[in-house]
Amino acid sequence: MPDKKVVPMKKLTTTLLALTAASALVLSGCSSDRGGESGGGETSGGGESAAAGFEEGATIGVALPQKTSENWVLAEQLFNDGLTEAGFKPIVQFANGGVSEQQSQIDAMVEQGAKVIIVGAVDGSQLGSQLKNAKDNGATVIAYDRLVKNTDAVDEYIAFDNFQVGVLQGEALLQGLAERKGEGPYNIELIAGSSDDANSTPFFEGAMSVLDPKIEDGTLVIPSGQTSFEQVSTQGWKAENAQKRMDTVLSGSYSDKELDGVLSPNDTLARAALTSAKQAGKETPVITGQDSEVESVKSIVAGEQYSTIYKDTRKLVEESINAVKALQAGEEPEINDTESYDNGVITVPAFLLEPIIVTQENAAEVYAGDPTLEELTK
């Protein structure tokens, strides 16, 4: 992993507040292997399908994963409303039954003549056959939020900068520890996302690019000894899996210690870790999150969960629909990164949005104008 320039947290917060969640800056500092092993894969073009265009009122398929967070539920509504308003016929489906259900759903979208298939993958490495079939039938494939891996049958990736999400989480953890726990060393534990989600690795690697030096110099101590992604990943992003592991860690390694902090990759798992710490009789640890879920925003405002990440789903869906409109008109969708996301076969052209760190200090300003979250900060 190439070195990353890590900006001090307070300076970073000030800088990011000057941006909107829809900032479309070219992220020249992106790591070359965020999406997988760097191998100089070819870049997918998609130019041929884009140049052709397609008829107005065409069918557009949107294959979403399980309903594991509020943002996925919101995306369903936004895609249905936005695509319909733009004159398309949307098919928006969740694969709550897992990979096999999503595979079947994508095949059905192809059979129904979908001109574009937008995929938020359950497991981005198990859709190669379905997406090749889609491409062979003339559809354009857009990976939404999660990178599709090990296939050349993908034209574009639209997401927030996931490595930067992890960097922000690592910075937030260090800042929160200094603010709430005084001087170190600090006892912390690590939580990562589901191993079948391509986003989980860049989240973790981004955070560890910040935390590893502090582990090496003794500022951060991990009493459980669980430091690898494999040891700390959470199958299915399920809260019960994270809480069960934290219960085991606390009973086994913290009988005579306090838990000062937890690196959590999202809000659902953050709340699970907070529950575990509370039930174990521990003081509230400094804990990170992501997704700006309602209960976690309330917790941040109340001074419990320390931070989350704001990734405005409205903007992510909007950019995806803009790509569909461009394709329908026979134009190339907007791209601002052509180097960072090697999926193991090709380097997928990407449109990346900038994530924003949120703490109690800046929550009111960040969420101003958000129809759901603004009221929670008043």
CB 151 within 8 A of CB 185: no
237 phi and psi, to 5 degrees?
55, 30
Q: Per the structure block, which two tokens stand in for 96?
A: 């709550």
- Residue 211 has what pLDDT? 98
> How far is residue 192's CA from residue 56's CA, in Å, rounded to a whole number?
42
CB 348 within 8 A of CB 44: yes
> How far is residue 321's CA from residue 12's CA, in Å, rounded to a whole number?
30
pLDDT tens profile 6-37 = 333 433 443 334 433 333 333 333 333 444 43
Tell me the sheet residues that pair with 310. Answer: 356
Under DSSP, the state recorded for 148 is -
Alpha carbon of 243 to those of 64, 251, 270, 328: distances in Å?
Answer: 25, 12, 9, 46
Q: Per the structure block, which two tokens stand in for 357?
A: 């760190």
> How far is residue 247's CA from residue 242's CA, in Å, rounded to a whole number?
9
Cα atoms in the Cβ-side hemisphere of radius 13 Å centred on 217: 6
Cα atoms in the Cβ-side hemisphere of radius 13 Å centred on 280: 27
- Residue 70 has what pLDDT? 85
CB 23 within 8 A of CB 363: no
Residue 23: name the closest of 377, 334, 282 by CA: 334
Q: Which residues of the chain have pLDDT under 70?
A: 1-51
217-232 as b/e, with b when 16 or more CB fall inside 10 Å?
eebbebbbeeeebeeb
Cα 173 from chain centroid (whole Å): 18
- Residue 41 has what pLDDT? 46
Alpha carbon of 82 to those of 22, 164, 232: distances in Å?
Answer: 17, 28, 38
> How far is residue 247's CA from residue 279's CA, in Å, rounded to a whole number?
9
CB 127 within 8 A of CB 119: yes
| Beta strand extents in 151-305 (DSSP E only) | 156-160, 186-190, 220-221, 261-263, 286-287
Report the relative pairing of strands 356-359 and 307-310 from DSSP bridges.
antiparallel
CB 115 within 8 A of CB 90: no
Cα atoms in the Cβ-side hemisphere of radius 13 Å centred on 183: 0
Residue 79: name the closest of 314, 350, 294, 312 by CA: 314
